[in-house]
Chain A
Amino acid sequence: MASGVKPRVKVPKSASAGEAITIKTLISHPMESGQRKDGDGNPIPRSIINRFTCEFNGQSVIDVKMEPAISTNPYFEFEATVPEAGEFAFTWYDDDGSVYNDNKAITV
């Protein structure tokens, strides 16, 4: 169980219709790869965020599958066009089954 996991998202509060906006997301997570060993030589079990998705009003914007080579505190920055006012829903899926959510509304 990863501790201290906290999602953060930066989305502009408003945009004009059809405009491409920049979205930045960051989640604090150790992203333990499963390749390392502890002081006694036992493997440390893998514990990573394996999937990240962003949806806008139910429509998929981005869906990312993540692998163990990704560094601690994964950061994604991407662009999305906003056709109408609505809400972005961000979801991170942890190896341990936890799901972390964040939502940001945007006006047009």
Chain B
Amino acid sequence: MKYKSLTALAALAISAPMVFAGGADDDALVIDGQEMISKTAAPAHMAETGIDTIISGWHFREDDTQAMQLDTFDNPGMIAVDQAMDAWNTVEGTAEKSCASCHEGPESMKGVRAVYPKWNAEAGEMRTLAMQINNCRTEQMGAEPYKYDKAEMTAMEALITVQSRGMPVNVAIDGPAAEYYEKGKEIYYTRYGQLELSCASCHEQNYGNYIRADHLSQGQINGFPTYRLKNAGLVQVHNRFRGCIRDTRAETFAVGSPEFVALEVYVASRGNGLSVEGPSVRQ
């Protein structure tokens, strides 16, 4: 065991800097012939971070993983989209409606993913896509809400997300969203856990470098929900937040908590200008 890990470390030390020098690669992300914006100038509000180019996490993955995202058929995340398509047309709840009763085809959701999380003036709250889906279910359909990070919810998010594929992320951070932006930013720069790591420690100061065997990305969330090969399933952005904070050996916030909603606003806004990629494929 000990010998094995030593060998692995040695191999990493020799090969990694040569293969991945400079961090992100220069491949082009083209899905089914549609070119994605996977690298672009950072939005103005990121001037203070020292990052001038924002880069999709796709550029930090290995070629095999990257290839799976280039063709809709090869993308295992699209299975969930298929399943959500059935759910879209399924009548549920006391109002005897399906998603299709009000919204017709899922094509009507084009552009939605790109602007979420979004302030809902009527309800006076910041809503993530998952919260909006559940609001539709409880208020319009009279149905049971999905659990925030369960497979049905993630699949429905994937179906809605894929309608906006290729459109640039454009999350508002002014007006009522400013409060959430500030709160999310505070969480982003707070060091958590026994390892005392903040989001910025890895994803701002060290992207392109390795943390043990992991190639650090900028932590962009334009590709969520993401099909993770290690989970063999779709992962929501709040799952990923929780996983990151857990890895610092901290008590994490709950999925769907106000803290994670604020963090999602902030992190999403750091990707303003990148294409919506979801469902993406990652390691």
A91 within 8 A of B: no
Say whether B73 contacts A8, CB under 8 Å: yes
Residues in A13-48 with C-beta less than 8 Å from chain B? 24, 26, 28
Q: How far is the CA of A28 from the CA of B232 in the complex (A)?
A: 12
Q: How far is the CA of A8 from the CA of B81 in the complex (A)?
A: 13
A6-B82 contact given A24-B73, A24-B74, A73-B76, CB 8 Å threshold: yes
By a CB distance below 8 angstroms, the chain A residues around B73 are: 8, 10, 24, 26
A72 within 8 A of B: yes
Q: How far is the CA of A24 from the CA of B76 in the complex (A)?
A: 13
Q: How far is the CA of A10 from the CA of B82 in the complex (A)?
A: 15
Q: How far is the CA of A24 from the CA of B83 in the complex (A)?
A: 20
By a CB distance below 8 angstroms, the chain B residues around A4 are: 83
Q: How far is the CB of A55 from chain B (nearest CB, A)?
A: 21
Q: How far is the CA of A10 from the CA of B71 in the complex (A)?
A: 11
B202 within 8 A of A: no
By a CB distance below 8 angstroms, the chain B residues around A10 are: 73
Residue of A nearest to B151 (CB): A4
Classify the interface of chain A: helix, strand, loop or mixed.
Answer: strand
A71 within 8 A of B: yes
By a CB distance below 8 angstroms, the chain A residues around B232 are: 71-73
Q: How far is the CB of A31 from chain B (nearest CB, A)?
A: 10
By a CB distance below 8 angstroms, the chain A residues around B100 are: none
What mask results when residues 65 to 80 of chain B are scored 1 for a CB within 8 Å of chain A, else 0? 0000000011010010
Q: How far is the CA of A24 from the CA of B79 in the complex (A)?
A: 14
Residue of B nearest to A72 (CB): B232
A interface, CB within 8 angstroms of B: 4, 6, 8, 10, 24, 26, 28, 71-73, 75
B interface, CB within 8 angstroms of A: 73-74, 76, 79, 82-83, 232
22 contacts between A and B (CB under 8 A): A4-B83, A6-B79, A6-B82, A6-B83, A8-B73, A8-B82, A10-B73, A24-B73, A24-B74, A26-B73, A26-B76, A26-B79, A28-B79, A28-B82, A28-B83, A71-B232, A72-B232, A73-B76, A73-B79, A73-B232, A75-B74, A75-B76
